[in-house]
Amino acid sequence: MFWGGFPHKLSTLIASMALLAAPLFSQTFYGSIVGTVTDPNSGVIPAVTVTLTNNGTGTVQMTTTNSVGNYAFVNLPPGSYKIEVTQPGFQRYTQDNITVAVEATVRIDVRMAVGEVTQTVEVTSGVLALQTETANLSQVVAGRSVQDLPLNGRNVLNLVALVPGVVPQGSSMAPLTGQNVFAAGNYQIGGGMANQSTSLFDGVPMNIFYGNLTALVPTQDAVSEFRVETNSNTAEYGRYTGGVVNMASKAGTNQFHGSLYEFLRNKSLNAADFFANRTGAGKGAFVQNQYGGSVGGPIVKDKTFFFSSYEGYRQRFGRLFTTTVPTANQLAGDFSDLRDASGAVVPIYDPATQCGTGDNGACPASGPQRQPFPNNMIPVSRFDPVAKKFAAFPYWAKPNTTGNPITHQFNFAKQGSTGGDNDQFNLRADHTISAKNRIFGRYTRWESKNISPDVYGNGLVSGDPISPEYFLTQQALFGDTYLFSPTTILDVRLSYMRWYNDRTPGTLGIDLKSMGFPASFVDGLPKDRVTLTRMALTNATYDAISTGSISARTNNYIIAANLTKIAGRHTWKFGADLRQLDDSYWQNNNPGGTMNFSNRFTAANGASPGATGDSFASFLLGRPDSGLAETLNWTANFTRYQGYFVNDTWQVSPKLTLTLGLRWEIPGIQMEKRDRIGGVDPSAPNPVGDKIGRQVLGDYVLANTPRHPERGVRPENYRLFAPRFGAAYRLGSKTVVRAGAGIFYIPTDTPFWEAAIGHPINLFGNNMVATVDNSVTSVNTLSNPFPDGLIPSPQRDPSYSSLLLGLSLRAPFREDAFGYVGQWNFALQREVRGFALEAAYAASRGVHLALNELNEDVIDSKFLSLGTALRDQVPNPFFGYVRSGVLSQRTVQRGQLLLRFPQYTGFRTTAKAGNSTYHSLQLKAEKRFSSGGRLLAAYTFSKLISDVESNTNWLDGGQSAATYQDQNNLRAERSLASWDSRQRLVVSYVYDLPFGKSQMLLQNVKGVADKLISGWGINGISTFQLGFPIGMTATPNLTGFNTNLRPNVVPGCNAVLDGPAQSRLDGWWNTSCYTVPAAFTYGNVSRTDPGVRTHGINNFDFALFKNTHLTETKSLEFRAEIFNLFNRVQFGRPDATATTAAKSTFGFVRSQANNPRLVQFALRLHF
């Protein structure tokens, strides 16, 4: 079989071409022209000669109509064509300027007129934009739209958002620097989860084996056009569940064409961030230069062509950081001015006075269990030595603004300088070997560098990217199309793509011993990747965030081909999609470890802290609630994907076309080159049970062992069949009715942590034993967090099973269902006065979707009635067999032993138990202007319900819903999805103003006056969208035992507040409507609250341009682009954590989600 020895080098892939005796591959960017030739009486005419000419390259193809009068040209590169029909006894028929878009099927039916062949019937009108042959929902973003619409950072993937059924998530609409580059592909398409779609460039994927993320974003000048498909695609497409973004690169023609351009932007004409104005931080720095050029043309006329482009992008901009930092008094231990919102002093209690310990008295029946520090001041002599070092580092910046005059919250506001550099080069060559054979090749290189905002001046940053990062993507592609006959066509593509990523932390290589940490902790950390330890406080705004480290090397090897056979009324396609996807990876988000602090150790009662104590005070005393240091190794993950399909486009009659297809997918399993991977079998007896004398179920089982004979996470699945159906019926020449449906399977790598790097034998979590009684007393402290040292990652060490005991595991189930999405649609399309109008019902249903790190090791809800007895210390049966964490102690809380897997302290998995339901009404109006401009209006009214969220929520900017509250009752997690947009309208336009010679107005103007008034035009994108529902959490979580907590809603309380958005920045909703649940109970707020939403979108991006012809072949274009034309603020997501803590920011808004008004100028020379 093909995969028996799948290659690791492209040369070996090319050698596999011998396999093409069998039909191969699938997805394509090519289009088709089909039609029926009839006589004046509507009778079909067989054996008619049909000639097709590519107007750009001069390539000529010929075919004849079959016995039912049908003809077809398939595998056509997007472009402009001319068709000519000849038959003795009839006049010659010609039609020119036929536009074939990406993956479009254009119908040209010809009614012949009786006469001599020397007579000609010439049709000059364009073809209407009706979709008459296929049933999927899709939209072409044509060349002028790609080139001319105003795009912030010229990110061509932003244009995906023009299409009905598409919702951008996170920062997907932002430029490609100063953030994670993967955000560019973070779209929800057709109700599918983000990053579960596929992006193609010249028919091969740009997605990599890293969460199915898009690793290549071609520049505008490299893309001729693209199509976005949102529902019910044909069997040619697989390994996705949302939609398809199908791009075609520009190719050379018989005419030399090119461009040179410079886009320039600085802060002078930009508006300031709303909160920068409010806090006095001022307008951030901004300098952006985007420059480049392209050239293409013939090498040998009508035979060999080239096209190349280069773009450089340099951007530096200010990012506003508004946060809370300790005051000078607090750094000295003085909390006398620590106040809650009412102005009352928040008392700080001394954990050394905990009742019932040492010489302290017995605990009272109620009331404080500790004594407050006199005058609310912690003596410097009590400071932990490591805490002293961090305070002096300095870990936190000094306050620079007043903030809240009572609580001193948000007392730091500063513009941090960030941005980055991008360079992309594209080269394509096309060659016609003969009338039967044409080939092409393309090479793309994209290099991106991000600069981190060192806003605190200490190498630590907040936000994404959290370190300086370097990305390099390279893709090489070879394509060959061979016509055995006009009715038998083979298309082949070979592709190799490599993605390279390095994240370099600002404090890389720091000596943690100089910060006071002992050798027992420091010596176990990775020697060449140590960074400053992260001090994570529950007042999240206190957290400076120590930076993480990543090194990744990903390779895609792909063979792509399809065989098309036209037989009578049937156009058959057969194919296969063969990929090997590699990913060598190393990631530690906190290479120096993390220490977690809350107000518990300085509260009146550690188990129930209420509005007492403070996390920074707990830090000064060196009393963390928990800590984690991860030891890990490089992993070499890979998978082998196979997809085979058959598809029949059946022209049942001149009016009815059916598309019938079946795809068979063998998805591949997650494997690791040294077998350092496995899966959890929840029913397998754990060996520790033999030692403690009772059965303990649940064990991580290594791959390629007798208990887990497969090399991967789970056995390969050979039962994934995906039927596809479509019907298109023409009600006359101006109306089409379509319906489609299909099954689509999820890519195996969308839950990224199923890869080897996420398995506990490779990423080993050493848990600090900070407390065993909910922060009532301490076991280990900040200055000596791991007295017994750190355990290295066990990999395939025979003792791995015992080493994993006591950990919080993250691993997949060995046996699990395979996720899929069913899609269906019904659409009506009508041409009315030059407008193509479409109304569609589109829906999808997701089944067995991957849950995002569901913690399966949770206490059964029936035990919550035991209340505080769950926290009682009882003898630990695992003592002596566990080396780390709370289970290494002699006693343990009773609740720990009642967990589903008591031998572990947690077990997070991507269980395939999620579901989603999407219904939508999608309306679209499109107008194509004779000048090449276009108007597109897209409206979507939708509802997305789910109990699961995206597996790439780290790209979502904090919008994702609250985590699962009660894992025993997942049905209660069903709610509106975090990205339910409900209503969205996008209007885009490219329009040449009708002034000047040969135009509608002022046609007779000549000379200089004509130069001044002609060539003007406008472009723009206007977006209006309802905000997203908000998911809330609650703290402190007094239930615990791996549960999560949401608030209770007060019965009858209306949380929705009226008034303008600016009046609700200190209370986006009525916060009194929500309360923190009592201990050992769950909140009753749904996973997302349907009553409160984030701020919606009301945005206008606009461009004015002037194109001045210098000569017959040269013109100079001036552009002025304004993003957020009216400078309307879209406020960011409010703080959604209800808390009993004194300094609550619940409901507060302190960020702007969109950019303030930005102005950009450009000059472009066309030749």
Residue 395: pLDDT band with limits 50, 70, 90: confident
User: Which residue matches tokens 């912030």?
Assistant: 152
End-to-end CA distance of the chain, in Å? 51
pLDDT at 996 (0 to 100): 82
Contact predicate 927/934, CB 8 Å: yes
15 pLDDT higher than 60: no
User: Of 470, 649, 645, whose CA–CA distance to 566 is shortest?
Assistant: 649
Burial of 946 (0-12, 13-18, 19+ CB in 10 A): buried
User: Of 1003, 945, 997, 935, whose CA–CA distance to 971 is shortest?
Assistant: 945
User: Of 1093, 1123, 846, 842, whose CA–CA distance to 974 is shortest?
Assistant: 846
Contact predicate 1032/1014, CB 8 Å: no
Average pLDDT over residues 440-450: 95
- Among the residue ranges 86-90, 373-377, 1116-1120, the one predicted with the least confidence is 86-90
777 pLDDT higher than 80: yes
Classify residue 735: in a domain, yes or no: no
- Peptide bond before residue 1036 is cis, with ω within 30 degrees of 0: yes
Residue 20: pLDDT band with limits 50, 70, 90: very low
Classify residue 438: in a domain, yes or no: no
Identify the CATH number of the domain in which residue 77 sits: 2.60.40.10
User: Which residue matches tokens 């993950």?
Assistant: 637
Contact predicate 1108/1155, CB 8 Å: no
pLDDT one-digit tens code per residue, 537-565: 876 455 555 568 899 999 999 998 899 99
pLDDT one-digit tens code per residue, 95-149: 999 999 988 899 999 999 888 777 777 776 555 668 888 999 999 998 899 999 9
Classify residue 847: in a domain, yes or no: no
pLDDT at 396 (0 to 100): 87
Q: How far apart are CA 638 and CA 645, in angstroms?
A: 24
pLDDT at 539 (0 to 100): 66
Residue 958: pLDDT band with limits 50, 70, 90: low
Average pLDDT over the chain, rounded to an integer: 90
Average pLDDT over residues 563-588: 94
Q: How far apart are CA 298 and CA 842, in angstroms?
A: 44
Q: Which residue has the higher pLDDT, 916 or 28?
A: 916
pLDDT one-digit tens code per residue, 1049-1096: 999 999 999 999 999 999 999 999 999 999 999 999 999 998 899 999
Classify residue 1094: in a domain, yes or no: yes
Classify residue 1155: in a domain, yes or no: yes
pLDDT at 25 (0 to 100): 38
pLDDT at 18 (0 to 100): 34
pLDDT at 17 (0 to 100): 34
24 pLDDT higher than 50: no
Q: Within 13 Å, how many C-alpha atoms sit on residue 847's CB side?
A: 10
Range of the domain at 1078: 1019-1167
16 pLDDT higher than 50: no
Amino acid at 224: S
Average pLDDT over residues 990-997: 90
User: Of 32, 918, 169, whose CA–CA distance to 491 is shortest?
Assistant: 32
Average pLDDT over residues 572-591: 94
Classify residue 65: in a domain, yes or no: yes
Strand-pairing partners, residue 264, are: 289, 1161
Domain boundary among 102, 123, 144: 123
Average pLDDT over residues 276-292: 88
User: Which residue matches tokens 């702007």?
Assistant: 1152
Domain count along the chain = 2
pLDDT at 124 (0 to 100): 63
The residues, any chain, with a CB within 8 Å of residue 884's CB and separated by 6 or more, are: 766, 767, 769, 788, 791, 806, 807
Tell me the backbone φ, ψ of residue 330, rounded to 5 degrees: -65, -35
845 pLDDT higher than 50: yes
Q: What DSSP string describes 902-915?
A: TTSSEEEE--EEEE
Domain boundary among 123, 156, 181: 123
Average pLDDT over residues 18-31: 51
Residue 177: pLDDT band with limits 50, 70, 90: confident
Strand-pairing partners, residue 586, are: 551
Q: How far apart are CA 358 and CA 1029, in angstroms?
A: 50
Contact predicate 242/196, CB 8 Å: yes
pLDDT at 803 (0 to 100): 95
User: Of 627, 607, 475, 463, whose CA–CA distance to 540 is shortest?
Assistant: 463
The residues, any chain, with a CB within 8 Å of residue 122's CB and separated by 6 or more, are: 94, 95, 96
Q: How far apart are CA 739 and CA 727, in angstroms?
A: 5
Q: What DSSP string describes 942-992?
A: EEEEES---TTGGGTTT-SPPPPS-TT-GGGG-EE-TT---EEEEEEEEEE
pLDDT at 128 (0 to 100): 60
pLDDT one-digit tens code per residue, 702-731: 999 999 999 989 899 999 999 999 999 999
Q: How far apart are CA 584 and CA 635, in angstroms?
A: 6
Q: How far apart are CA 590 and CA 781, in angstroms?
A: 19
Classify residue 54: in a domain, yes or no: yes
pLDDT at 547 (0 to 100): 66
21 pLDDT higher than 70: no
pLDDT at 1012 (0 to 100): 87
pLDDT at 654 (0 to 100): 87
As given in the structure block, the two tokens for residue 247 are 């791009």
Classify residue 531: in a domain, yes or no: no
Q: Could you give the C-alpha distances from 755 to 350, 582, 585, 758, in angstroms and in order?
A: 45, 11, 9, 6
Q: Could you give the C-alpha distances from 440 to 218, 300, 448, 481, 495, in angstroms and in order?
A: 18, 14, 27, 9, 12
pLDDT at 240 (0 to 100): 94
Amino acid at 701: V
Residue 14: pLDDT band with limits 50, 70, 90: very low
Percent of the chain at pLDDT above 70? 95
pLDDT at 126 (0 to 100): 55
pLDDT one-digit tens code per residue, 859-893: 999 999 999 999 999 999 999 999 988 999 999 99
465 pLDDT higher than 60: no
4 pLDDT higher than 70: no
User: Of 786, 787, 804, whose CA–CA distance to 795 is shortest?
Assistant: 804
Residue 170: pLDDT band with limits 50, 70, 90: confident
User: Of 145, 152, 189, 193, whose CA–CA distance to 173 is shortest?
Assistant: 152
pLDDT at 1141 (0 to 100): 81
Report the alpha-carbon angle 405-406-409, nearest 5: 75
Q: Within 13 Å, how many C-alpha atoms sit on residue 246's CB side?
A: 27
pLDDT at 5 (0 to 100): 44
Average pLDDT over residues 1144-1165: 93
Domain boundary among 63, 96, 123: 123
19 pLDDT higher than 50: no
* Residue 731: CB atoms within 10 Å: 12
User: Of 243, 241, 235, 239, whose CA–CA distance to 725 is shortest?
Assistant: 235
As given in the structure block, the two tokens for residue 536 are 């994570």
